[in-house]
Amino acid sequence: MEEVKSNDSLILYIQNLFHDSADLVVHEVSWKNEISIVCFYNTMTDSADVNRQIEILRQRSIDDFPKWEGTAASSVGAFSESQLIENVTHGFVAVFFPSTNLLMTITIPTFEVRATAEPDNELVIRGSHEGFVESIDKNISLIRKHLSIPDLVVKDLRIGKETNTKVTYVYIESIADKEVIDIVKTRLENIDTPKVYSIGQIEDYLEDTVWSPFPQLLTTERPDRVVANILEGKVAVFMDQSPSALLGPVNFFSFYQTPDDFNGRVFVGSFFRILRLFSFLIAIFLPSFYIAVVGFHSEILPYELGVKVKTAIQFIPYRPIIEAMIVELFIEVIREATIRLPAPIGPTIGIVGGLVIGDAIVNAGLVSNLMVVIVAMTAISSFVVPSVEMNTTIRLIRFPFMLAATFFGFLGIAIGTLILFIHMMNRSSLNQPYLSPIVPFDPSRFKEVFFRTPYYKNNQQQKTFTFRAGKRKDGEGT
């Protein structure tokens, strides 16, 4: 009777640990020579699977199997309150044996996971159509399905004192640079925050500097893209409950490459890679070039074209910069509304905003037809970028160039370009140069910026960076 009372008090104690949650299951289970207390969340673990696994372990105990408690799904260790909480909150089953003060962990979580569908923001024409999901174990399994090699290393750690979020980084031991691995490990271990619930938080801690408009880590939801990058020596970082992976170190040109470049033919892949880089120049410089020409350098236009430009803007009541700002902000508002609205309504808003309202503001004399064409070409060019982060960066950068062109014309554009280039030269990703292979110049890899070389020409392991040789220093670059 005293034992029953003791067990009752233990059950009450465990229920209090989890604040008597409605989905918490705590009950007694009789074994061969003792009684245990089983604890789990029935919303994270199927009760039928729990009963089945416990019955298997009880039968092994009755049959006197040596180390009967150790199976592929179970393990035993010393009991501690923190270990009990960790096991239950992660979807495991905790079995506590009061007489021996041992805690058995049964690993049979049954989380609902969506299908590995292709991510909507990274569509490809040829190649794999799988995508990551919100389960970190499922995501790692997709990587291992592509790479059946023992050199693929997976490292786990827990971050966040309150959320205890699982973070995993993946690399290939024989390819990845040891210094880069040390930097990723040190920066992850140095994250000291009580709550981690977004992959964006991890990105802030991993980047060399957050005070730059340029992303220093590549974000993707495609397994084939992660595999291709870690085969080049990069490290992939995953967070549980997030379908996104962070890849680093990367250079500026990594954001302009897609799986289609490598799945298609050489000339096709090279053409579209050059086209994307050219669209970067259009997206940044076209509005500022137009403002500079109209405000300062109209003499460079052919006479016929100059007449058309003057005719188009002569009745606009304000300077070209105001006109450009109105249309640019109008485009940004339409884009944001299209993203936030439900899928069936979003395209309708885009059509109404782009055609109806756009035509109305031109007819009202608020902006010129030519400015609408310029801004439309700029917006389309920025959307060519296959990276959402770099796309946002380009849309922000063009505003300072427009202001510089308003006050100084081509001189302002030249000064802005110089400042932008110096800024990019001083950026790095996990201590690797951001403008590689241009700065520092690497002639052996320079052509890969613009051209997709044939596979049969690659006689050695391809890497994004030419890593420095020599011994690493622990904690260097953190």
Q: Is 119 part of a structural domain of the chain?
A: no
Give the total number of structural domains in the chain. 3
> CA 316 to CA 108: how far, in whole Å?
69
Domain final residue, candidates 432, 452, 467: 432
Same domain, 291 and 212: no
Q: Is 440 part of a structural domain of the chain?
A: no
With beta carbons less than 8 A apart as the criterion, state whether 320 and 290 touch: yes
Same domain, 241 and 290: no
Render pLDDT for 293-303 as a digit per residue (tens, 0 to 9): 988 888 888 88
Same domain, 238 and 271: no
Q: At what angle do helices 266-295 and 320-340 cross, to 10 degrees?
A: 140
Same domain, 245 and 269: no
Q: Is 438 part of a structural domain of the chain?
A: no
Render pLDDT for 42-63 as a digit per residue (tens, 0 to 9): 888 888 888 888 888 888 887 7
Same domain, 231 and 278: no
Structural domain for 8, as ranges: 2-106
Question: Over 60: is that where the pLDDT of 3 sits?
Answer: no
Same domain, 284 and 421: yes
Domain final residue, candidates 217, 250, 283: 250
Domain final residue, candidates 106, 126, 158: 106
> CA 160 to CA 163: how far, in whole Å?
5
Same domain, 86 and 168: no
417's enclosing H/E stretch is helix 410-425
Angle (CA) 434 436 442, round 5°: 165
Confidence of residue 251 (pLDDT cuts 50, 70, 90): very high
With beta carbons less than 8 A apart as the criterion, state whether 249 and 233 touch: no
> CA 94 to CA 108: how far, in whole Å?
11
What does the pLDDT read at residue 466?
58
| 418-435 CB burial, b ≥16 within 10 A, e <16 | eebeeebeebbbbbbbbb
Confidence of residue 459 (pLDDT cuts 50, 70, 90): low
Question: Over 90: is that where the pLDDT of 282 sits?
Answer: yes
pTM listed for this prediction: 0.83
Furthest-apart CA atoms within the chain: distance in Å: 105
Q: Is 131 part of a structural domain of the chain?
A: no
Q: In whole numbers, what is the pLDDT of the chain averaged over residues?
A: 86
Same domain, 276 and 180: no
What does the pLDDT read at residue 383?
87
Same domain, 284 and 422: yes
What does the pLDDT read at residue 264?
83
